[in-house]
Amino acid sequence: MTTTPTVSRATAVAARATDLSKVYGHGETQVVALDQVTVDFRQGEFTAIMGPSGSGKSTLMHCVAGLDSFSSGSVRIGETELSTLKDKQLTQLRRDKIGFIFQAFNLLPTLTALENITLPMDIAGRKPDKQWVQQVIDMLGLSARLSHRPTELSGGQQQRVAVARALASRPEIIFGDEPTGNLDSRSGAEVLGFLRNSVRELGQTVVMVTHDPVAASYADRVIFLADGRIVDEMLHPTADGVLDRMKAFDAKGRTS
């Protein structure tokens, strides 16, 4: 198999990691979670990150999203270098330029669906673009659920609210950490379809960590990590193709 330690193309870039490393501990207890990773996440593209357990896929997403620090290298969101930002500036960047979708939904139970959707903008003191928010709500089929609280919604509906919240502020990039991990297959397919449509119809940029080949098949490309390094890339992925690639990684791990 041909390895691709660097994944990059000449086009508009929403986020970029260059020689990114993340090391935990020292000496004999040292663990290298990321080992000089270089990757671009291009605007208007849906990228899935996959790899065996412990490969560094979640660490990569957390570092690029500004949720975790890194040991060396560079991370940029647009033209902004994360390592130059103070904590307050980093918080503001995450709030203004990045959207997040988590496996656990992370909705506030005392707020309605609409209040959860607009919460980040309310906290920032920014007025939502009503036309844009309505477009997102319509795309996600949430118009009839806006006055409902999370306990009155199904798991799939709650995750759709979380997707709407991530899209509502029109961030430069959205990161999803196993966003369908707590959903049944039908609800998961709906949410993945909405994410794909947000890229194709709204021009959004989405980066998703997943272990599921079916989920990865919704993306425009898949980046594969192993032992903290990017080892392969697949364009226009299919579920079977991703599964075969993952099986090859597993077989290599068992024989190494």
3-state SS, 7-42, equals ECCCCCEEEEEEEEEEEECCHHHCEEEEEEEEEEEE
Pairing between β-strand 173-177 and β-strand 13-24 as defined by DSSP bridges:
unpaired
Residue 204: predicted pLDDT: 92
pTM of the model: 0.87
CA angle 206/51/249 to nearest 5° reads: 140
The 10s digit of each residue's pLDDT in 47-72 is 999 998 889 999 999 999 999 999 99
In terms of C-beta density within 10 A (0-12 exposed, 13-18 middle, 19 or more buried), how is residue 108 classed?
Answer: exposed
The 10s digit of each residue's pLDDT in 114-162 is 999 999 899 888 888 899 999 889 888 899 999 999 999 999 999 999 9
CB 48 within 8 A of CB 216: yes
How many Å apart are CA 61 and CA 73, to the nearest integer? 15
Which tokens go with 36? 């000089």
**Residue whose entry in the numeric block shows the structure tokens 């990321």:** 34
Query: DSSP secondary-structure letter at 102?
Result: E
Give the closest residue to 9 by CA, choosing from 57, 43, 32, 56: 43
Find residue 37's DSSP bridge partners: 20
| Size of the chain, expressed as the number of residues it contains | 256
Which residue type is seen at 32?
A: V
Neighbours of 93 (CB within 10 A): 17
- Alpha-carbon dihedral sign for residues 216, 217, 221, 227: positive
Query: DSSP secondary-structure letter at 255?
Result: H
Which residue type is seen at 56?
A: G
C-alpha separations of 145 from 117, 138, 203 in Å: 12, 11, 25
Which tokens go with 106? 């992370």
CB 230 within 8 A of CB 19: no
The overall average pLDDT reported for the chain is 89
For residue 112, pLDDT beyond 60: yes
The 10s digit of each residue's pLDDT in 155-192 is 999 999 999 999 898 888 999 998 888 888 888 898 89
210 pLDDT band (50/70/90 cuts)? very high
User: Is the CATH number of domain 6-255 3.40.50.300?
Assistant: yes
For residue 6, pLDDT beyond 70: no
Instruction: Give me the phi and psi of 203, to 5 degrees please.
Output: 75, 20
Residue 241: predicted pLDDT: 94
Domain boundaries, the chain: 6-255
